[in-house]
Amino acid sequence: MRKPILNIAAASPVVTKQPKPETDRRRYQRVQIRLLGRFSMPNRLEYPCQTLNMSPGGIAVNAPVRPEIGHKLTIQLDMLGQIDGHVVRHMEEGFALELDQLFLNPEKLADQLIWLANRSGLGDHDARRHIRLEPKHKFVKIEAAGQPVFSGLILNISRSGACLETDRKLPIGTEIKIGRLGAHVVREIANGFAVAFEEIIPAHEFSSEIKL
C-alpha cells in the first residue's frame, strides 16, 4: 500500500525583533549650560539664542522665535562654533535641535561642556530670559528731561534693556527715551550707561535688524 504524500509547506522563518540598542545620542547626559549664539530664519533675519542644555547629540535653546518642526538650522555658538541640526521639539521658551551628526569626539565634548558649565555659573534666571545681541542699526537718539537730545551707540540689546556708549553720564534712575522706547538708567558702564526698557520688546520684533 502506497503511503500518502504529505504536502508540507516550508515553514517561514520566525523573526524575533531585537530591541534597538541605546543610540549614541542618548548615551550622553545633557549638561545645563548657558552659551550665547545666533541663527537665521528662512526670512533671512538673524535672531539671538542661548543654550539651555546640550549634549553631543542635541541642544535646547532659548530664542525669541521657534522654527517649524523639521526645519534644518545652523546655530553659531560662542566657544563652540557652528552647530548643524534640525528642530525636533518646541518649548515655551524656545526649541530643541537634534544634531545632524555626533561630534567627532563626543567624550571630549561632554567633558568640555561640563567644564564650560562649571565656569559659567549655572542657575542665573535672568540669563534665560534676557538674551543679548549686537544690532546692525547701532546709532540712536537719546532724550532726557532738561537736556538737549544727544546721540548714543547701542553696544548690545535685549528685549528688556540695552548698554549704550555715549559721552554723557546720567544718574541711575533717570528716565529717558531711546528712539521710540521709554527707559530708565540702571547702572553706569565704561563710556556710557545701561538701561531697562519700560516695556519688553515683543518677540517678533526682536532681531539683529531691530531699529529703535
| Strand pairing report for 58-62 and 192-197 | unpaired
Cβ contact 35:75 at 8 Å:
no
Q: Please, what is the Cα angle at 173 between 170 and 179, to 5 degrees?
A: 65
Say how many C-beta atoms besides its own lie within 10 A of residue 131's C-beta: 25
State pTM to two decimals: 0.48
Cβ contact 76:67 at 8 Å:
no
Cα(202)–Cα(26) distance, rounded to whole angstroms? 36
Cα(37)–Cα(47) distance, rounded to whole angstroms? 9
| pLDDT attached to residue 116 | 60
27-129 placed in CATH 2.40.10.220: yes
Say how many C-beta atoms besides its own lie within 10 A of residue 64's C-beta: 20
| pLDDT attached to residue 43 | 77
| pLDDT attached to residue 36 | 83
Cα(124)–Cα(127) distance, rounded to whole angstroms? 5
In tens digits, the chain (212 residues) has pLDDT values of: 555 444 434 444 444 444 434 444 445 567 777 888 888 887 778 888 888 888 878 899 988 888 999 999 889 887 777 888 999 999 988 999 998 765 545 566 666 666 666 555 444 444 444 577 888 899 999 999 888 999 999 998 888 889 999 998 899 889 999 999 999 998 888 889 998 888 878 877 888 888 88
Cβ contact 71:41 at 8 Å:
no
Say how many C-beta atoms besides its own lie within 10 A of residue 77's C-beta: 20
